[in-house]
A and B are shown apart, each in its own frame.
Chain A
Amino acid sequence: GNSVTQMEGPVTLSEEAFLTINCTYTATGYPSLFWYVQYPGEGLQLLLKATKADDKGSNKGFEATYRKETTSFHLEKGSVQVSDSAVYFCALLGATSYGKLTFGQGTILTVHP
């Protein structure tokens, strides 16, 4: 079946540092890939998405590129802010799914001033 693996957390950075959160997946066919973010006390919010190989999703300074050859969708941001502190989830939608998202375990990001 489909699966998503995220890098172990938590991740602690200083403001303006570079962020990478690794995400790899296993799936048949051509899934769609997503990053969701969860701020304290809130639900999951879609951060960015990519629906085919080599697509780059971007939003709020975050980027991720759908790499089929390495089955990866790593999240990056060049300069993090304190307000980026949250839990980040990588997720996959199978090519033949009716909407079932498969999530990674989540990575807690804490950014210090």
Chain B
Amino acid sequence: EPEVTQTPSHQVTQMGQEVILRCVPISNHLYFYWYRQILGQKVEFLVSFYNNEISEKSEIFDDQFSVERPDGSNFTLKIRSTKLEDSAMYFCASSEGGTVHEQFFGPGTRLTVL
């Protein structure tokens, strides 16, 4: 069964450093998403991406964040200058689209900012 994969599973970085989180969505999917979950809190939407541009983003997704689909398979989230409060589990998801946007999630990348 096709699945969304994410690498790395755990990333540790120093405050102020740039990180890139990588995702490989399901191959025939057209919509891509990033969510995050700070420990003990809700899963929060960050951004959705379609046709090589951002279609929706949350207030969390400020200028420190960017997304890219550099080739036909990868979907990346970059955090330019990490802060302590960026420590969280980051989930990538993808969907075929349509009206329901049934989303398939990856296993997540745990980001720890020291």
Contacts and interface: CB of A to CB of B under 8 A. Distances in A.
Interface residues of A, number: 23
Interface string A32-43: 100010000111
A102 interface: yes
Contacts, number: 64
A46 B102 contact: yes
B41 A105 contact: yes
Interface residues of B, number: 28
Contact of A43 (B45, B91, B101, B102): B91
Given A97-B56, A98-B55, A45 B105 contact: yes
Interface in B44-79: 44-45, 48, 50, 55-56, 58
A98 to B, nearest CB: 4
A35 to B, nearest CB: 12
A106 B43 contact: yes
B48 A99 contact: yes
A60 interface: no
Interface string A74-108: 00000000000000010101000111111111100
A43 B105 contact: yes
A27 interface: no
B42 A99 contact: no
A105 B106 CA distance: 19
Given A49-B100, A51-B100, A43 B4 contact: yes
Interface of A: 32, 36, 41-46, 49, 51, 89, 91, 93, 97-106
* 4 nearest CB pairs, A to B: A99-B101, A44-B105, A43-B105, A98-B55
